Amino acid sequence: MKNSLLKKKKIGVMMGGLSREREISLKTGKAVLKALHEKGYPAIAIDVGENIAEKLVKEKIDCAFLALHGRFGEDGTIQGMLELMRVPYTGSGVLASALAMHKIMAKKFFLYEKIPTPRFEVFHREDIQKGPQKIFPLPFPLIVKPAREGSTIGVSIVQKEEEWIPALNKAVEYDDEILIEEFMKGKEITVGILEDIPLPIIEIVPKSGFYDYHSKYTKGETQYILPARISREKYLYAQEISLKAFQTLGCTGVARVDLMTDENENPFVIDVNTMPGMTETSLLPKAASYAGIPFEDLVERILLGASLKIENGK
């Protein structure tokens, strides 16, 4: 959509939602709303709840800027509703959103396309609840995480045997499918993708050694190094496989690909976030700013990519 046309339309910034990441989504939504107002767009805030369909009918928006994180917002559900209501929206479509949100399914696609990703196994809630799982699928340390949560919710690093059962029990509080993943001992890096173009790579260095919810959202707890301190060859390869992961899942618009390197700086894709944080201090805007794209311009570019996907075969 052209910006001159959109400035005559009613834009709904959809934020909040029903997931455990509601508070983060509200911060993203407010930052996006402010940027759109500064660019001259007639945007309104829409707090997404169980009555969202009724609210959208009442507001009669022409376009939706999705600022939702987690389930019921980042997993294809809201995208499907907008497709049915014929409201163009930002970001990826139904299928890509659902695949990216489901870490296990995404990794299966990565394996098929020969995109490097850490080794993994899958456990199910019903098996875990039957009793202690004494079979360790991978060497320690390993990662235990719910299949469909963001912001490292329910994630544990298991260093030794006595931490194994508590980590499984923690993860099954959030999902019935649990991903057991090989622990990578190198650097944590992230690659933003904007309109099929990889942005500069950010290296993430949490003070605690684990980029958990506290490290992500507490000021001063994590150092962000831009560009990442890896060799040029590995840097370009990380951008290459990040773009391939984005395209493999069928993503459109914008996303952030999270990776880990091994001890030799070889990058491995962990997951793809189809709706990355969008405050001015979030990772994707940091990378865009380094590439010369101010926050307000980034928000506008994402908005201009809004569309209906299913009728276009995406």
- CATH of residue 199: 3.30.470.20
Structural domains in the chain (count): 3
| Across 175-182, average pLDDT | 92
My answer on whether 50 and 73 are in the same domain is yes
Neighbours of 17 (CB within 10 A): 27
My answer on whether 139 and 165 are in the same domain is yes
| Across 16-31, average pLDDT | 90
My answer on whether 106 and 245 are in the same domain is yes
| Across 251-265, average pLDDT | 96
Residue 217 tokens, joined? 């959202």
The answer to whether residue 289 is domain-embedded is: no
Nearest-angstrom CA–CA distance, 103 and 185: 20
My answer on whether 81 and 209 are in the same domain is no
The answer to whether residue 290 is domain-embedded is: no
My answer on whether 8 and 131 are in the same domain is no
Residue type, 181: E
Nearest-angstrom CA–CA distance, 178 and 180: 6
My answer on whether 154 and 241 are in the same domain is no
- CATH of residue 12: 3.40.50.20
Residues 302-314 have pLDDT tens digits of: 999 999 987 665 4
On average, the pLDDT of the chain sits at 89
The answer to whether residue 305 is domain-embedded is: no
Q: Is the per-residue pLDDT at 277 higher than 80?
A: yes
| Across 206-232, average pLDDT | 73
My answer on whether 236 and 162 are in the same domain is no
Which of 232, 256, 244, 26 minimizes the C-alpha distance to 117? 244
Residue 144 CA neighbour count, 13 Å, CB half: 30
| Across 37-42, average pLDDT | 94
Q: Phi and psi (nearest 5°) for 93?
A: -85, -170
pLDDT of res. 131 = 65
The answer to whether residue 130 is domain-embedded is: yes
Q: Is the per-residue pLDDT at 255 higher than 80?
A: yes
Does the predicted model carry a pTM greater than 0.85? yes
Q: Which domain holds residue 163?
A: 120-182
- Please report which confidence band the pLDDT of residue 222 belongs to, taking 50, 70 and 90 as the band edges: confident
Of the listed ranges 24-33, 130-139, 206-215, 235-244, the least confidently predicted one is: 206-215
pLDDT of res. 49 = 87
pLDDT of res. 312 = 61
pLDDT of res. 52 = 93
- Please report which confidence band the pLDDT of residue 126 belongs to, taking 50, 70 and 90 as the band edges: confident
Nearest-angstrom CA–CA distance, 70 and 73: 6
| Across 266-289, average pLDDT | 93
My answer on whether 105 and 252 are in the same domain is yes
